[in-house]
Amino acid sequence: MNRIENLFNKKRKSGKSALIFYLTAGYPDLMTTEALLPALEKAGADMVELGVPFSDPIADGPVIQKASSDALEKGATVKKILSIVHRFRKKSEMPIVLFGAFNPFYKFGLEKLVKECARIGADGLLVPDLPPEEAEELISFCDDAGLCHIFLASPTTSPERSRLIVEKSTGFIYYISTRGVTGARDKLDKSILAQVKKIKSLTEKPVAVGFGISKPEHVAWLRGKADGIIVGSALIKEIGKGASVEERVQLASQFTRKLALML
């Protein structure tokens, strides 16, 4: 049982949801990313999805697209991101998921990537453009190394495919709460709760909800209904307001604390 599974087991026993944040690694620079990880944990984050930037967006809205572009211009690479995780792991047990397109992972080498993740203390991989039907090689590598492999379900996922996603996922199932790309929303679709309930009827595995979540009231509404609540674009917007590493950390920490208070 790795850190992701341990986290959800503890949350389930306490009746609470896990608060999960997505960070584009290297935005606006690698130094900021390294400073943000411990700061987010201190402010109330339970897990971080560390986004590996890629030139061709996959379901990314304008905020994350720009963050990825800026990170690439500043020299973010898989190797540098893994180094950040390695240093962070020496002082924290907060779960870290690497979230990224298949292309940079494939270029790095799938088996090499999984072994390196296990060595440095990353806990799982989420590859949005690698469907479970085509992921057997990655699943095998992850299973051998004790890493979670997380897949996505959405409002348009058929019941048959939902069962496959549930079967193939370890750690948790990521439920995309809305059609379209990532980005903060003013309101969340009321159908989310029914969709999460459907997935939960298929499995005992945790279900985390992402896309669009941006406000304390969103967290309060999902509290106790989703096992995990994922926030991405709204946090990256806050980080982008800062002119220095210190300002970015302060803004991100304040935002995180506001959401954590709802749990």
Domain 3-260 indexed as CATH 3.40.50.2300: no
214 near 63, Cβ under 8 Å? Answer: no
Residue among 212, 216, 201 nearest 159 (CA): 201
Q: Cα–Cα distance between 177 and 209 in angstroms, integer? A: 6
Q: Cα–Cα distance between 186 and 199 in angstroms, integer? A: 25
pTM comes to 0.95
**Positive/negative CA dihedral, 41, 178, 4, 223:** positive
| Environment class of 202 (CB within 10 Å of its CB; exposed 0-12, middle 13-18, buried 19+) | middle
pLDDT in tens, 191-250: 899 999 999 999 999 999 998 899 999 999 999 999 999 999 999 999 999 999 999 999
pLDDT in tens, 120-136: 999 999 999 999 999 99
pLDDT in tens, 163-178: 999 999 999 999 998 6
28 preceded by a cis bond (ω within 30 of 0) = yes
Confirm whether 247 is a catalytic residue.
Answer: no
Residue 181 confidence class, pLDDT cut points 50, 70, 90: very low
Please identify which of the residues 34, 41, 46, 60 carries the catalytic annotation: 60
Q: Residue 91's CB: how many other CB atoms inside 10 A? A: 10
Token pair belonging to 153: 């379900």
Q: Cα–Cα distance between 28 and 21 in angstroms, integer? A: 16
**Positive/negative CA dihedral, 97, 99, 103, 108:** negative
Torsion of the alpha carbons at 199, 23, 41 and 11, rounded to the nearest 10: 0
Please identify which of the residues 46, 49, 116, 227 carries the catalytic annotation: 49
Find residue 48's DSSP bridge partners: 21, 96
253 near 43, Cβ under 8 Å? Answer: yes
Confirm whether 60 is a catalytic residue.
Answer: yes
